[in-house]
Amino acid sequence: MGLEAPTPPDAATAHGGGRSGRVLSQRDLNRALLERQMLLRRWKLSAHEAIERLVGMQAQVPNDPYFGLWTRLEGFHPDQLVQLINDRRALRMPLMRATIHLVTARDCLALRPLVQSVQERTLNNTAFGRGTVGMDTEALLAAGQALLEEKPRTLTELGKLLNTRWPDRDPVNLARAIHYRAALVQVPPRGVWGASGQATWTTVEAWLGRPLDADPSLDQMVMRYLAAFGPATVRDMQTWSGLTGLRDVIKRIRPRLLTLRNERGREMFDLPEAPRPDPDTPAPPRFLPEYEYDNVFLSHADRTRIIADHHRTLLTTKNGVGPSTFLIDGFIRGTWKINWNRTTATLLINPLDPLPNPDRSALAEEGAQLLKFAAPDAQAHEVQFSAPV
């Protein structure tokens, strides 16, 4: 697949496709996003195919991709992703916005070089970067990579070893400089369902036995984004990737794109044959990954296509980490969490506002299936609703 945009599914409707300048409502954008993110129905795809279609999955919390795949795929079992990770066909690494993503090995090689500037900018804007000012950065990078290729190490271990060569520097700053400047991956058991372990790192080349792509295509990366998240503004694309200067990319590929507008009059771009379902297409309830927002929330500057502004305000936290959320009629309408005791796994559903009885019933039914996936060994499963916020 490389960085080629996936072919749109035959079952989707190209609503209004081919008409340049059409104005898209928020529900138009919502249904397009849900279809491309595999949230209007569960798909018959392998986990590997799904991860590539999604251009990676947010994975700051190790179990997030398992929940994200369960909510999108028919018959998904955690072992399917565990095998991909253990076989080195999928891996966890800093990528979009310098945050941890799960990607396939071939997407790692194609995408990671394109976001190097994001990694560098992120480092320079932190105390870690300021703590290595004046150093021979090439010597530091070479030393760090050599240590991680000798064997996988935690950043604490790496910092201590680098500190023996640069004793006047803080070991945390030294390790973090490598973390941002080198192309690194987290190795198992980190990210393996049911396992635990510290984040331990090595280089992409050591883990995959192959170098990063020498001539990666930013144009194809943007096309891939539109296939998975469009229609979108340039600012949306930049929010997803962390990159700047993407107007130049759009200028190059504009003849290959459909030009649209949102209700605020902002110019949007899309692939001409990409699915844009009817805004009245039914959207089933869906649970997004535990403890973190899914990429469906994180990949646009304007998030009103997936959550109302007043609901987003209710979900804002001091540390910026969002709770688990669920979708009703395609929009985020509340949060959820699973509580365990000795014998019972309880799904607690917290609506942001009152839900009609049919929505509550459909959500409870989907929640019962979530518990079977997340807690198959529990003797009992319960679904409970709290009072609306």
Please give the structure tokens belonging to residue 387: 């009072």
Dihedral of the alpha carbons of 278, 279, 282, 283, in degrees to the nearest 10: 120
Q: Are strands 380-385 and 344-351 parallel, antiparallel or unpaired?
A: parallel
Query: Residue 320: its pLDDT value, please?
Result: 58
Domain ranges of the chain: 307-385
pLDDT at 384 over 60: yes
pLDDT averaged over every residue in the chain: 92
The pLDDT value given to residue 294:
85
45-54, 309-318, 325-334, 357-366: which range is least confident on average? 309-318
Q: CA 343 to CA 315: how far, in whole Å?
A: 30
User: With 50 as the cut, is the pLDDT of residue 12 above it?
Assistant: no
Residue 145 has pLDDT above 60, yes or no: yes
| Averaged pLDDT for residues 151-162 | 98
Residue 21: pLDDT band (50, 70, 90) is confident
Instruction: Summarize the confidence of residues 41-57 as an average pLDDT.
Output: 98
pLDDT, tens digit (0-9, with 9 covering 90-100), for 52-100: 999 999 999 999 999 999 999 999 999 999 999 999 999 999 999 999 9
- φ, ψ for residue 186, nearest 5 deg: -85, 135
Question: Alpha helix (H) ranges present in the chain?
Answer: 26-36, 47-53, 64-70, 78-86, 105-111, 116-124, 127-130, 137-150, 155-165, 171-181, 204-208, 218-229, 234-241, 247-253, 295-298, 309-315, 357-374
Radius of gyration (Cα) for the chain, nearest Å? 22
* Tokens 């998240």, located at residue: 229
Lowest mean pLDDT among 25-34, 282-291, 325-334: 282-291
| Per-residue model confidence (pLDDT) at position 334 | 94
Q: Tokens for 352?
A: 């942001």
Q: Contact at 8 Å (CB) between 86 and 67?
A: no
pLDDT at residue 124 greater than cutoff 70: yes
Q: What is the pLDDT of residue 375?
A: 95
Enter the tokens of residue 253: 């590929």
Tens-place pLDDT, residues 270-296: 999 999 999 999 999 999 997 566 889
